[in-house]
Amino acid sequence: MKKLGFGLMRLPTFPEGNASGAKAGEIDIEHVKQMVDAFLAEGFTYFDTAWMYHNFCSENAVKEALVDRHPRESYTLADKLHAAYLKSKDDRDAIFNEQLRKTGVDYFDYYMLHDMRVAHEKIYNDLDCFAWIRDKKEKGLVKEIGFSFHDNAAFLDKVLTEHPEMDFVQLQINYLDWESDAVQSRLCYEVARKHGKPIVVMEPVKGGTLANLPAGASRLLKQAHPELSEASWAVRFAAGLPGVRVVLSGMSSDAQMKDNLSHMKEFTPLTDAERQLLRRVADWVRSGIAVPCTGCSYCTTGCPVSISIPDYFALYNRGDAAQREEYLALNAKGGAPADCIGCGACEAVCPQELPIREELQAVAKRFA
């Protein structure tokens, strides 16, 4: 398969006050259909969704934009089961069967235990999810089984040692996190390679951070290749690693789709000189990030006071002159950082394990 995957977590949505009358934030299905068609037309086949993506609507979009319109053999589909939504063994089949119904497929090509980390592994073990997912494969309801991972390399080694039956692993890999002590991209990659597991890469652009570089870092890349986008460097970095099966990109516009297809249709790995350049860029970017949020928005779904947490963190990281006006505009749409009641629901589902409550206090303090 070609090495670009369509991540269905950041789909195009309708803006507030749109002419169609759709609700703000609602998925623009017609736009998604066009992107799906363009993706398939260039020979790419891998689509990735999950139970909670787009406020539990991503799987419905898969059915309408992909499954109902294209032959089953023309694409592969990955879906996931998340520990945060499991309270009993019955929930496993209840969610899985609903995922089959929502997507409209008879089987998943790839199925994962989502967001594997120490706390979630306990839930997966307590509810016997490893045996459960193997059973789905044996029955032909899943072709390959694996898990997405957010923890350290030592823990990854433990999970893969205990569960050699896992066919693949999905890891957060990008050139900014490659040597990160927190994410441990390189170390986790090396563990997966040691166990001989194919790797699916998530967050290659780190939630858009590596597609919107500081001016100085951006100049370094433009001097080397003025025709290439910032995002293309990040995707190529991940795609060129041996053992990487596919790199997921969460595309939310035609421009992002066109850019990804342009450099991944005939993929060329980075040279040694280009990798060295990215190390310099990473150092530059790392020095200016206050909160390493990837914008996945898992935290917003369960927030009791409707704080748009990723948007506030993005604003906080930017530090430009327009902050105050944008901050007040965000306040008008939902809860403000100062409204946080400290329940911790956001931190329980954050893949980056950020101290969100503490960071919200810092954001509130800056704008007070």
Q: Tell me the pLDDT tens digit for each residue of 327-338.
A: 888 888 889 999
Asked whether residue 323 carries a pLDDT value surpassing 80, the answer given is no
Mean pLDDT of the chain: 94
In the numeric block, which tokens belong to residue 23? 């609700």
- pLDDT score of 322: 61
What whole-number distance in Å separates Cα of residue 107 and Cα of residue 177?
Answer: 34
- Give the contacts of 24 (CB within 8 A, at least 6 positions apart): 13, 14, 15, 16, 17, 18
What is the mean predicted confidence (pLDDT) over 243-265?
96
- 77 closest CA partner among 231, 234, 200: 200
Q: Are 349 and 84 in contact (CB under 8 A)?
A: yes
| C-alpha distances out from residue 327 to 104, 162, 307, 318, Å | 41, 47, 12, 12
What's the pLDDT at 324?
A: 76
Percent of the chain with pLDDT over 70: 99
- pLDDT value, residue 327: 86
Binned at pLDDT 50, 70 and 90, residue 291 comes out as confident
Q: From CA 182, how far away is CA 338, in angstroms rounded?
A: 27
Asked if pLDDT for residue 347 goes beyond 60, the answer is: yes
Highest mean pLDDT among 187-196, 286-295, 335-344: 187-196
* The pLDDT of residue 319: 65
**Mean pLDDT on 31-56:** 97
pLDDT for 1 beyond 90: no
- Section 28-43 average pLDDT: 97
The residue among 269, 327, 298 whose CA lies nearest residue 56 is: 298
Taken in order 11, 16, 22, 24, the sign of the CA dihedral is positive
Confidence of residue 141 (pLDDT cuts 50, 70, 90): very high
User: What are the angstrom distances between the C-alpha of 224 and each of 167, 210, 275, 342?
Assistant: 38, 16, 12, 46
Tell me how far apart the alpha carbons of residues 92 and 72 are, in angstroms, rounded to a whole number. Answer: 25
Q: Can you give the pLDDT at residue 270?
A: 96
What confidence score (pLDDT) does residue 320 get? 60
**b (16+ CB within 10 A) / e for 141-157:** bbebbbbbbbbbbebbb
pLDDT score for 321: 55
Task: Give the CA dihedral 107, 108, 109, 110, nearest 10 degrees.
Answer: -150
pLDDT at residue 145 above 60? yes
